[in-house]
A and B are shown apart, each in its own frame.
Chain A
């Protein structure tokens, strides 16, 4: 049945080309933990996370060893806390973040996502309260990730929320100044946020999700890059076919690990997210795939087309390989987490403008971008608004994870270490859209016909 070549191919992917399962993320609904007494609510949250996710890390490690496939992260996503904490009579949501942090530490996961609010149409009292507590919550915790959905294609763009997020991001940067404003690396502003995304920092357990679920994020830019290199000079059709076949194989691994983990943990298997997620490791880079396709430096003219081709081929291959595909499912282009992107930015080939263009053809958005510390809240809000508009009009998820690193100037670096990597501080435009941003209100939902 299996040939020696096939067995060697798999082993090579893992050992030489950084194939791994990026994350097993357990989604847990906390809706039944709501309680008028905040202490009781937090106790219920802690207990429920322990009950469902107690053996998550151990099971993940077992599977990792048995199949010989590294599973880099085990993580948890929960119901947006604004929904859960809404019933509690408390002025302080930061306590809830601390409870999540403690539960994550006890279970042994490195991140827990869901300190979130969904405000694309407007705020409830708790939504506003949660958002205003984000800077403190991210400064006071290690493992908690936060996200806010500010726009959808169906509802339009909540410009009040975007302006607020501009200020919240600035405050988060200031409160975590001593660690290069790392708080901002754990804060995502979404348009069309998916409810089943397994990837941090934007993971949360959506309200349409079951009680508990296992979602898988696969990776493998290194594998795709090697495959692309084998068809150097070949016609684009051959190239697309090669990427498709490779994406299929990578995704099959995710499907296997997902099914196995779900079965062993006794919870339903949700989705495989077929994103190409780079890491700072050499060769594990989406930028280098773009360059292997034939673009001299990622970010120059031709990058958007190459990325569109890559992203679509990955989806086609991945969709065939898994019974349920979901989450973000596309190529990630996080500046700080991709060594090729960093090089391209250093060389001046990759700018914020080009990154924005790239986000219109791939997941997810302006991700892990460090900008000067003196960038104003209005400019950050305007960057978010542009990204939200791309997502809303194109019916896709976009996100902004931007770090206005306190005290840093263009050419400086922010250093987060680990998977979050390091990023050069890149320039933003100095003209502002202050008056536009300060108008407030909502951008109406777009027309869905007349599609030019």
Chain B
């Protein structure tokens, strides 16, 4: 997965993770926060672990209207609203650990 990511956004990508009970409107909720801040979603992947939804989005923040910290707060707030945990982390936190 995530193989066809655009190279020009390298270094400006965040990984948005959603963890929580599955319900209607989770993707819509997260996508709305991202769209309203001019953040492009590059890839979405999800799976159900036991009854929990695990969703991971790769997003490009190079044209974002907000900085990383504000984005994290907006996402966390949306998460509280729909009852799931949403976080955004810089892509390097994952890439550095799993790729040389």
- Cα separation A255 to B92 with both chains bound (whole Å): 11
- B16, chain A: closest CB distance, angstroms: 10
A interface, CB within 8 angstroms of B: 1-4, 6-11, 62, 65-69, 249, 252-253, 255-256, 260
**Which of A6, A9, A66, A260 touches B89 (beta carbons < 8 Å)?**
A66
Q: Residue B15 at the A interface, CB < 8 A? A: yes
Residues B90 and A6 in contact, CB atoms below 8 Å apart? no
Please classify the interface of chain A as helix (H, G, I), strand (E, B), loop, or mixed, using the class held by over half of its residues.
helix
**Which of B15, B17, B92 touches A256 (beta carbons < 8 Å)?**
B92
> B interface, how many residues as a size bin?
20 to 34
B6: A residues at CB distance < 8 A: none
Which residue of B1, B96, B97, B99 has the most chain A CB atoms within 10 A of its CB atom? B97
Residues B69 and A249 in contact, CB atoms below 8 Å apart? no
**Which of B3, B72, B91, B98 touches A249 (beta carbons < 8 Å)?**
B98
Q: Restricting to B74-100, which residues have a CB under 8 Å from any CB of A? A: 87-99
Chain A, residue nearest B72 (CB): A65
Q: Residue B56 at the A interface, CB < 8 A? A: yes
6 A-B pairs with the lowest CB-CB distances in the bound complex, closest first: A68-B89, A256-B96, A67-B93, A6-B98, A252-B97, A249-B97
A4: B residues at CB distance < 8 A: 1, 45, 47, 54, 56
Q: Residue B5 at the A interface, CB < 8 A? A: yes
Q: Could you show 6 A-B contacts with beta carbons less than 8 Å apart? A: A2-B15, A10-B98, A65-B68, A66-B69, A66-B90, A68-B88
A256: B residues at CB distance < 8 A: 92-93, 96-97
Known: A1-B2, A4-B56. A10 touches B87 (CB 8 A): no
B47: A residues at CB distance < 8 A: 4
Residues B93 and A255 in contact, CB atoms below 8 Å apart? no
B interface, CB within 8 angstroms of A: 1-3, 5, 15, 17, 19, 45, 47, 54, 56, 68-69, 72, 87-99
B98: A residues at CB distance < 8 A: 2, 6, 9-10, 249
Residues B99 and A1 in contact, CB atoms below 8 Å apart? yes
A7: B residues at CB distance < 8 A: 15, 17, 56, 94
Chain A, residue nearest B58 (CB): A2
Residues A65 and B93 in contact, CB atoms below 8 Å apart? no
Which residue of B5, B72, B90 has the most chain A CB atoms within 10 A of its CB atom? B90
Residues B69 and A65 in contact, CB atoms below 8 Å apart? yes
B17: A residues at CB distance < 8 A: 7, 11
- Cα separation A69 to B97 with both chains bound (whole Å): 12
A8: B residues at CB distance < 8 A: 54, 56
B91: A residues at CB distance < 8 A: 2
Residues B68 and A66 in contact, CB atoms below 8 Å apart? yes
A68: B residues at CB distance < 8 A: 87-90, 93
Residues A255 and B1 in contact, CB atoms below 8 Å apart? no
- Cα separation A67 to B92 with both chains bound (whole Å): 8
B89: A residues at CB distance < 8 A: 66-68
**Which of A2, A65, A66, A255 touches B94 (beta carbons < 8 Å)?**
A2
Chain B, residue nearest A19 (CB): B97
B88: A residues at CB distance < 8 A: 68
Chain A, residue nearest B95 (CB): A2
Known: A1-B5, A11-B17. A6 touches B94 (CB 8 A): yes
- Cα separation A11 to B97 with both chains bound (whole Å): 11
- B43, chain A: closest CB distance, angstroms: 10
Residues A253 and B96 in contact, CB atoms below 8 Å apart? yes
Chain A, residue nearest B85 (CB): A15
